Amino acid sequence: MYKTIIALPFCAFALSSCSDAPSPLTVEKHLNGAGGSTLIITNTSDDRITIGKVTANRGNCTDFTNLLVPSSHVIAFGDKDEFAFGCDVIEAEVSTTNAGTWTYKFDPL
């Protein structure tokens, strides 16, 4: 019973994967100063992961990070990268060029 209680809060922010393999990334959502969300993506398993695109709310949210730096983002093992959006992100799809694509769901702020 104790393990179930610990797992439930994690599941609220956990990933819902499009791939059968577990995601090599963790994604956290934080409120940013512009009234939107910042996603912090951490590489937790592979040596290097190249993020090609992060889509928020099925494309209905502006990605300020790729407007400023429109290129892929390479994240080494243990490193983080931030992506800023102009809305409250409740769903994010992270596409990588070398590890797959995953969809993450978040509670609204």
* Per-residue confidence in pLDDT tens, the chain, 109 aa: 333 333 333 333 344 444 567 899 999 999 988 889 999 999 999 999 999 889 999 999 988 877 766 678 899 999 999 999 999 999 999 999 999 999 999 999 8
Tokens 């994604």 locate to 27
Are 96 and 49 a contacting pair, CB within 8 Å? yes
Architecture of domain 2-105: Sandwich (2.60)
pTM of structure: 0.76
d(CA 103, CA 39): 13
Tokens 């990588």 locate to 96
